[in-house]
Structure 1
Amino acid sequence: MDLIPKPDQIVSAASNVAHKMLYGGLADLRPMPRTLIDEGTLRELYHYRPVAKVVQQGDPVLMVTPLAAPAICFDLRRGCSLVEHFVTQGRPTYLVEYGEVSFRDRNLGMEHWIDEVLPEAIRETSRHAGGRPVHVVGWSLGGIFSLLAAADSPDLPIASLSIVGSPFDVSLVPLVAPLRPLLKINFTESRGAITRAYQAMGGAPKPLVKWAFQLSSFQKLVTKPLAVATHLDDHDFLAQIEAVDRFTANMIAYPGRTFGQLYHRFVKGNGLVTGSIDFGDRTIDVAAIKAPVLVFGGANDGIAPIPAVKAVVPLLKGAREVRFEVVPGGHLGMLTGRSARTSTWRAMDEWIDRWASDAEKSDTDDSTATAPAKKAPAKKAPAKKAPAKKTAAARTPTKKTATKKAPAKKPATKAAASAEAIGANPSRRYGSQGSRALSR
């Protein structure tokens, strides 16, 4: 709102406050309808049901949630839901989540997700979608697990990978960098205090995970009351805050052994900076990935800053194509914030269309060929009236020539507008740090 609110702003603010008091909130938090199609140990695979009057076709997309974060990160609220975006487009949409992590899961390590959860989810998604290759979208740790699973199992039916806010060089994370030298110090000859703590608790409990996520956006947390007060007339802004608050309140615990691996290998050892990691008698290297990879960095991401995320780009030596995009928003906002609708999602759509399978291209060609056939009768009617107009046209040949030239310019204009809207250069292997959305 303005410093001195206008009458319409006062009315909007009063309406928003009244709606929140009477109905408990402004955000439409209804989840998109879905069906459980496969499950296992800490693995639940869901298929989102198509919306009315929209036919599902094309290659499927599988969204991979990170550990400790609720799956609503992909379905935050109506209007800011990546799930809703894909479903309303008619794309077969799937999501893998892990359910509640308990003390009995404390012995599960990262291998469980890399060897079992993700490979099974990808294969089952492909089977359920009629054998189509899968476009995998992973956020944060879900993106890291997606890359490691793809590198370890080259036979997986993956059409493309989209990695959102996944840090590969932890030394470049401002929140962690100052602590890493201290974490390497052995204050005692026995196990460190942090190791003893997470082993005793069986992992990282929910309150600790929630606190860590809030700490990454500490400035926003402190200024939140002022932000709300100055945006009381902005329904969409207030609804987004409600949705993010619900997301933060539903954080999930980390399993003990997995948390230990993340702590020792990623945080202390910065083990992903080279692109390879050892698990027992094998080494997984992301250079083995053949599928095309799209990497997103958030302009205001405190958990996974742009340099930490971009560090993976030169490591993907075997990928068919690698593209790096900078988009507006923080760690969650870049995925499902209000700006994501015109930045991240648009780039993702272009990427998925670019790497569509031959079957999807055939579907598109068939639908394009069928559409004009239905409209043909409507075009025949004006043809009967044409002789009356031809006489007039014959009298003014110069106007007829001008009419023919005008359409010739339109395709070029539309193509240019489309290229500017997408903002991607297909000939570019690595994107620059200048985002199309940030340039607006």
Structure 2
Amino acid sequence: MALPTPGLPRRLGAARTNLTDKLRRRPIADLRGMPREVVEQRASFTLYRYDPVAGIEQQGRPVLLVPPLAAPALAFDLRRGCSLVEYFVHQGRPVYLVDYGPVSFAHRGLGIEHWVDSVVPAAVELVVAHSGAASVHLAGWSLGGIFTVFTAAAHPELPLASVTAVASPFDLRQVPLLALARPIDRVAGPLVGPAYRALGGVPAPLTRLGFQVSSLDKYLTKPVAMVVHADDRDFLAQLEAVDRFMASMYAYPGRTFGQLYHVVMRSNEFATGTMELAGRPVELARIDVPVLVVAGTGDTLAPEPAVHHLLDLVTGSPDGRLVRAPGGHLGVLTGRAARRTTWPAMEVFFRQHDPVVPATAGG
């Protein structure tokens, strides 16, 4: 006679509650954004400052979060209990976010240099002015990490305390998905340019499809995973938050997509450490601030070798460091395991590179 499984009644009760909430379309995830204020709104971006937590002393240099294109900035604040922003504000660290908003046909002429030479430098200077800090920790995810790194290289005059790139591939030969796409490029490549120029970019549904293809196994097995974890409310909350994220994808501006397409499919220019932007070479070896690289062990869009290659390029950095953490392309930034891995590792790095404030006389 089989013995009852310990805790089975509790698990069945939890599964029943979760299933009832799902069927009645009650939210499981707490999708409220962390409280924030608008520091400045411009035509090409909005700068936000997240509210400090009452009772927690503010300490350390501010961190400025830099999102990619197409993917919404809410990746940094996915849901309560699994939000990088929430984690940092509870550490007492001042947190800022530059948000580009949705991309439209009007943005079709914007290239990578727009973000590297205009948006990110302006956001850094605004953070310094607003916070009163002498320097800023600059941290980006995916293409946002690439913007972050090239901004630091192109503008050594910016007051940066450190640079962090999370899930940002720099050697695209190490991305298996791109190897599979190259034969298609040889056939369909001549049609790509006219298509994105006519459309003004890549529409949001296609960017969403690309993200889904990169994690096709998880996408296809999602119904099974929901059944297996029916009693795990935190697991279901994460799926719900990711669904919202996926539904919020933006389009890619045409010129930026064209630049990336050339780098991804043709030249692998990122891997050289030098890129032509606005008519001049930008060399990553010129970066002279500490650099943190975060790679997801399950990331198919930006596998560890592709991400790790950045450390071979930032030869002028006084402290180049790699953190390996569980998760895919989004999960390494804001998966449930990131609470124990990626976020604490970033905070430790920031603390080590928060310039020491001299004690005042008699202090």
**TM-score per shorter chain, which class?**
over 0.9
Shift of residue 123, structure 1, vs aligned partner: 1.0
* CA deviation map 1:287-335 (0-9, x unaligned): 0000100101100001000111111111110001100111100001101
SS of alignment partner, residue 95 of structure 1: strand
1:15 to 2:13 alignment: no
Tell me which amino acid in the other structure corresponds to 1:142: G
Deviation of 1:52 (Å)? 2.2
Look up the equivalent residue of 1:201 and give its one-letter code.
Answer: L
The corresponding residue for 1:396 is none
Which residue matches 2:266? 268
The answer to whether 1:315 aligns with 2:313 is: yes
Q: State the match for 1:358 in structure 2.
A: 356
Equivalent runs, 1:91-170 vs 2, <5 Å = 91-170=93-172
What is the correspondence of 1:2-401 to structure 2 with a 5 Å cutoff? 6-22=8-24, 24-183=26-185, 185=186, 192-359=190-357
Task: Write the letter of the residue equivalent to 1:318.
Answer: G
The structural deviation recorded for 1:23 is 5.6
CA deviation string 1:231-257 (max 9, x = no partner)? 000011000000011101100111111
Residue 131 of structure 1: CA displacement? 3.2
What TM-score do the two structures reach when normalised by structure 1?
A: 0.78
Partner Cα distance (2:252, 2:55) in 1: 41
In structure 2, C-alpha distance between the alignment counterparts of 1:362 and 1:266, rounded to whole Å? 50
Q: Letter of the 1:317 partner, please give it.
A: T
- The 1:46–1:362 alpha-carbon spacing in structure 2 relative to 1, beyond 3 Å, is farther
Residue 43 of structure 1 and its aligned partner are, at CA, apart by: 1.2
Deviates more, 1:214-223 or 1:260-269: 260-269
Instruction: Report the secondary structure of 1:115's partner residue.
Output: helix
Structure 1 residue 16: Cα displacement: 1.5
Instruction: Give the residue type in structure 2 aligned to 1:12.
Output: A
Give the C-alpha shift of residue 362 in structure 1. 5.1
SS at match of 2:77: coil
1:26-85 C-alpha deviation (Å, 9 max, x unpaired): 100000111111232321110011122223232101110001110110000001000001
- Partner deviation per Cα, 1:386-406 (whole Å, 9 max, x = no partner): xxxxxxxxxxxxxxxxxxxxx
Secondary structure of the 2:59 match is: coil
Give, in whole Å, the separation in 2 of the partners of 1:362 and 1:272: 43
Query: Larger relative CO (CA 8 A, sep 6+): 1 or 2?
Result: 2
Shift of 1:7: 1.2
Aligned length: 359
3-state SS of paired residue (2:40): strand
Cα pair 1:170 1:177 within 8 Å, conserved: no
* Aligned partners of 1:51 and 1:88 also within 8 Å: yes
Equivalent pair of 2:150/2:284 in contact (CA under 8 Å) = yes
Alignment-mate amino acid for residue 331 of structure 2: G
Does structure 1 retain, via aligned residues, the 8 Å contact 2:60–2:351?
Answer: no
Query: Is the 2:64–2:98 Cα contact (8 Å) retained in structure 1?
Result: yes
Alignment partner of 1:272: what SS? helix
Q: Is the 8 A contact 1:60 1:132 kept in 2?
A: no
For 2:221, give the aligned amino acid.
T
- 2:176 is paired with a residue whose SS is coil
- Structure 1 position 281, deviation (Å): 2.8
SS in 2 for 1:63: strand
| CA apart distance, 1:177 | 1.3
Hey, what's the Cα distance between the residues in 1 that align with 2:46 and 2:241? 23
Q: Which amino acid aligns with 1:312?
A: L
- Cα shift readout 1:186-215 (whole Å, capped 9, x = no counterpart): 77xxx8111111111100110000000001
Rg larger for:
1
Amino acid at match of 1:204: V
CA distance in 1, matches of 2:120, 2:52: 23
- Amino acid of the residue matched to residue 326 of structure 1? R
Q: 2: distance between equivalents of 1:207 and 1:11?
A: 38
* 1:304–1:331 Cα contact (<8 Å) kept: yes
Contact 1:42 1:101 in 2 (8 A): no
Note closer, same or farther for the CA distance 1:362–1:169 as it changes in structure 2 (3 Å cut).
farther
Q: Is the 1:204–1:256 contact (alpha carbons within 8 Å) kept by the matching residues of 2?
A: yes
> Residue 156 of structure 2 contacts residue 287 of structure 2 at CA under 8 Å; is this kept in 1?
yes
Give secondary structure in 2 for the equivalent of 1:273. helix
**Residue 123 to residue 42, structure 1, CA distance change in 2 (3 Å):** same
Change (3 A) 1:99 1:265: same
SS in 2 for 1:308: helix
Determine the C-alpha separation between the residues in 1 that align with 2:104 and 2:187: 30
Percent identity of the aligned residues? Answer: 49
